[in-house]
Structure 1
Amino acid sequence: MESSKPAEARISIIGAGPGGLTCARILQRHGIPVTVYDRDTDVHARNQGGSLDLHADDGQLALREAGLLDEFFALARPEGQEMRRFDTDGNIVFRQLPEPDDRYKPEIDRGMLRDLLLGSLEPGTVRWGRALESVDGPTGGPRQLRFSDGTTTESDLVIGADGAFSRVRPAVSSAVPRYTGVTFLEARFDDVQARHPGIADLIGHGLATGTDGERALAAQRNSGDHLRVYIVQRAPLHWISEAGLSVDDTAGLRAYLLERFAGWSPRVLGMIADNDGPYVDRPLFVLPAPHTWAHSPSVTLLGDAAHLMPPVGVGVNLAMLDAYELALALTRADTVGEAVRAYERTMLPRSAEWSTALDGVAGFLLERDDSHEGGDKMRVLKDEINGRDESESIAR
């Protein structure tokens, strides 16, 4: 079947995360119709998680094309770029403060970013409560989307923006995520200035980390006087049940973790023992590095569905850069198939380079750094990679 013109195509985006919504927004700004399907029953169905830093050369680039950069800066927290390291005794051993005018990678809560993008879309763009089960149909299209509620719809282009365990991915790739051996357990803290002043003082305004080489704590400020702590360990995937516990057993998990972190100072252990509400289990998965697939004119992937990597501050930025480049490719090409090919010609080498560079670094927070020189390792790596492939971008 001959590929459709983008403006006449039935374009379906699966997943209403930052990548999917950014793609939809840019397409609509260029007059290209699009529908987004998401498994959540509504926009408030679940907590969207912690804070994101959007970088000037990818996440912010996408927001500029989406016409939302000024609104982003009105919500963002430049002070959230502060970085600290502390030792197991609770002493600050490194501190990096952003310059007053530094807007390279300000923080924004994931929920705020999602609301910003959702509010920019035409009414009815997102279809809630539509959990995708499968993508069927010939490679040349049209594709048939089957949802868990029994409904189906046809699409000329399916964009998988549905994360780590994408239901779109099997239409083009047999790759499945693998567990890295590193797990995060999230703890939430509310009203931190009044209720947890010691932790607030230790963490500061941005990200603070501490490790003994085997275990680590990473704490990050969110807006609204909230804070999230990630307890980092190398452990089996089902370590909680293997310890005879459940994720809902807050007291049992707390006792177990305090034993694991024995020897750390009480000031630091408050990040394990004083959390508000239950813990959240977040094991880290990655896709094979590199992850590629044979071109299909009717299906493509972006973000974690395409290149799931360790959480080192690049995931959402790459997802939004993917969305930006795919949307612009669709505005410039004569057919959907040509646009997908142009997009993948840039995205796949970039994601291969990133995923290969980050392969095996899921436990980066566990590494000790006694140099006291600090520095943002991921920004250095990012600048190095971008310096090599910047000229290849189809959108610049």
Structure 2
Amino acid sequence: MTLQPWEEFNRHARREAETLRIFSPNGEKLLDESSGEGGRPEDFNDRPEVDRRVLRRILLESLKEGTVEWDSKLIGIEEAADGKLHLKFPDRTEDAFDVAVGADGAWSKVRSRLTEQKALYSGIGGRECFISAADSRKPNLAERVRKGMCLTLWKERGIMAQTNSNGIQIYAFARIPEAWHTSSGIDSTTPKAKQQVIDAPYSDWDSTAKWLVLESDTEANARPPYMLPVDFEWPHNPR
């Protein structure tokens, strides 16, 4: 029997995962909502978490076949004299649309038709990694994070971890210049990359927080987040 999207969502949603734990760099626990601290009960379930890849699958499977066309990268959008929009792809042009809805991210081709404002480096960046099957493979780290999100924060540095359905997602972020991602000398493909990430801003931190990065089983990939200016406003365009 095929489940309806809402039923399928409820099969995968983690209603216990909204809880938050916060630690200082020396390992002192500052907040633990998983134990009822911080004003939320243990069974807090108003904002369930679900893995993005699972949610994407549920939504795609709810659409009619052929609604989504894969391998069609938008490379440009033009407005003709009659006001119709023309969407350009590497192998073709799709003509005569009245309205285009852009959902293609920070470097959107649709966005460029609305504004010349480009996304700016946020000033905060770092590395992303993952621990698969953490409950069985790294139980001490799974206990640190528990079912929700676990943050270790101090002076513009942080090691942030969140439990997913198949492991723990980790971000080691700090306030660093944009060029650090290329000038730090850290090669994500080498075994020593994760140690280099830790040695830079976290050398004096509690060992459990550092092991979230050191014990991960994926490369420590660079993640420099970009953003629009805080006071930016979208100009109106009826197309």
Task: Please indicate, yes or no, whether the TM-score normalized by the shorter chain is above 0.5.
Answer: yes
Going from structure 1 to structure 2, the CA distance change for 1:291 and 1:240 (only over 3 Å counts) comes to closer
| 1:142-164 deviation per Cα after TM superposition (whole angstroms, max 9, x unaligned) | 111111x2311022211001111
Give the aligned partner of residue 227 of structure 2.
Answer: 286
Q: CA RMSD in A?
A: 2.0
Q: Counterparts of 2:22 and 2:235 in 1: how far apart (Å)?
A: 44
Q: Counterparts of 2:221 and 2:231 in 1: how far apart (Å)?
A: 29
AA at the equivalent of 2:224: P
Residue 89 (str. 1) matches residue 26 (str. 2): yes
Provide runs of 4+ in structure 1 moved above 6 Å: none
Give the aligned partner of residue 187 of structure 1.
Answer: 129
Asked whether the 8 Å contact 2:125–2:176 carries over to 1, the reply is yes
Q: Give the TM-score normalised by the residue count of structure 2.
A: 0.88
Give the aligned partner of residue 75 of structure 1.
Answer: 12
Q: Paired residue for 1:255, among 196, 202, 205?
A: 196
Going from structure 1 to structure 2, the CA distance change for 1:230 and 1:179 (only over 3 Å counts) comes to same
Give the structure with the larger strand fraction. Answer: 2
Residue 233 (str. 1) matches residue 174 (str. 2): yes
Q: Give the TM-score normalised by the residue count of structure 1.
A: 0.55
Give the aligned partner of residue 186 of structure 2.
Answer: 245
Gaps of 5+ in 2: 35-39
Give the aligned partner of residue 170 of structure 1.
Answer: 112
Asked whether the 8 Å contact 1:146–1:153 carries over to 2, the reply is yes
Secondary structure, counterpart of 1:78 in structure 2: coil
Q: Paired residue for 2:55, among 113, 123, 128?
A: 113
Q: Counterparts of 1:262 and 1:293 in 2: how far apart (Å)?
A: 43
AA at the equivalent of 1:242: S
Give the structure with the larger helix fraction. Answer: 1
Asked whether the 8 Å contact 1:80–1:205 carries over to 2, the reply is yes
1:1-396 alignment runs, 5 A limit = 68-97=5-34, 98-99=40-41, 102-138=44-80, 141-147=83-89, 149-154=90-95, 155-224=97-166, 226-298=167-239
Secondary structure, counterpart of 2:192 in structure 1: helix
Going from structure 1 to structure 2, the CA distance change for 1:288 and 1:268 (only over 3 Å counts) comes to closer
Secondary structure, counterpart of 1:105 in structure 2: coil
Gaps of 5+ in 1: 1-66, 299-396
Give the length in aligned residue pairs: 230
Going from structure 1 to structure 2, the CA distance change for 1:228 and 1:143 (only over 3 Å counts) comes to same
